[in-house]
Amino acid sequence: MSGFNPEPSPRFTRRHFLVGAGAAAAGLAVYSGEIARHEIDLVPRTIAIANLPGAFHGFRIAQISDIHLDEFTEPFFLERVVHQVNTLAADMVLLTGDFVTHGSLTFLNGQNAAHRCAEILSTLTCPLRFACLGNHDVAVSAPLVIYSLTSNGIPVLVDQHVPIERNGSRFWLAAVNDPGTTNPRLELAVPARPDGPVILMAHEPDYADTVRAHPRGHLVDVMLSGHTHGGQIRLPFLGPLVLPPMGKKYAEGLFRLDNMQLYVNRGIGAVGIPFRLNCPPEITLITLQSA
């Protein structure tokens, strides 16, 4: 009886390795560029505030940030985000900067992108909606972005505050000019003697340390930021590959800083490269609660 002579297994060559590695890289690029970049993560957060009036217990705020139309956020994706925010029926929508991208190479220039972004955001059904500026907005044109938003029914607060009232009670919504490209006037943004909590919008999260050191910083209960994109690409065990200036200390999520709480939204857009990995676009739904 003849012996069993199996066929010799093919050798795993360098060429096989390179082909396999190339296929894996291509697959990862497709996933991070076309799938992960469009997977919306709805993040619920409850924030307790010591002096919150009872009328605002359970008040819900939807936060979106860093839209970056049209590099690389497509109009159809922003429309999807707005639709999802509308389904939440939040009491207020806050937009924490970077509506456009400075130096965009895509087909929409800064002016067209600002107007198109504002037009889509005007379909937000929540009547209470406010915005602050980000570094890209200032770099493209702050007056252009402000005009585009305000003419579409979205007030932009620049070193300003407004009262948010309900059943005879109030809290104060404040916002500073972009800390990364201007010199914000926190003494104008934060009321001197607020008769209720203060929620501050500031695009760059690391500005929180400046707020804490400011004479009026102790009056700020909550600060809402974006800017970091959460790192945009996060590797297992390593975390974010790159974080921007003024976004290196507080990358994403909720931080407790003395009497102030900071929340950093990952944003919905991308900058530099059209990829997200382990860092999906975020809509935050914040529920205020009495501490």
pLDDT of residue 11: 58
Structural domain contains residue 5: no
Contacts with 212 (C-beta within 8 Å, 6 or more apart), sequence order? 257, 258, 260
pLDDT of residue 22: 41
pLDDT of residue 71: 86
HEC secondary structure over 96-150: ECCCECCCCCCCCCHHHHHHHHHHHHCCCCCCCEEEECCHHHHHHHHHHHHHHHH
Structural domain contains residue 4: no
pLDDT of residue 160: 98
Structural domain contains residue 8: no
Contact indicator for 91, 56 with CB cutoff of 8 Å = no
Structural domain contains residue 234: yes
> What Cα–Cα distance (Å) separates residue 92 from each residue in 2, 3, 10, 173?
82, 79, 63, 11
Kindly report, residue by residue over 263-272, the tens digit of the pLDDT: 999 999 999 9
Longest CA–CA separation in the chain, Å:
100
Q: How many domains does the chain have?
A: 1
Structural domain contains residue 221: yes
pLDDT of residue 4: 53
Structural domain contains residue 208: yes
Kindly report, residue by residue over 236-265, the tens digit of the pLDDT: 888 998 999 999 999 999 999 999 999 999
Full residue range of the structural domain in which residue 101 is found: 14-290
Structural domain contains residue 204: yes
The residue count of the chain comes to 291
Structural domain contains residue 9: no
Check which CATH number belongs to the domain holding 32 and give it: 3.60.21.10
Structure-token match 């690029």, residue found: 29
pLDDT of residue 19: 38
pLDDT of residue 111: 83
User: To 10 degrees, what angle do helices 135-150 and 110-121 make?
Assistant: 50
State which residues of the chain have pLDDT below 50: 1-2, 16-33
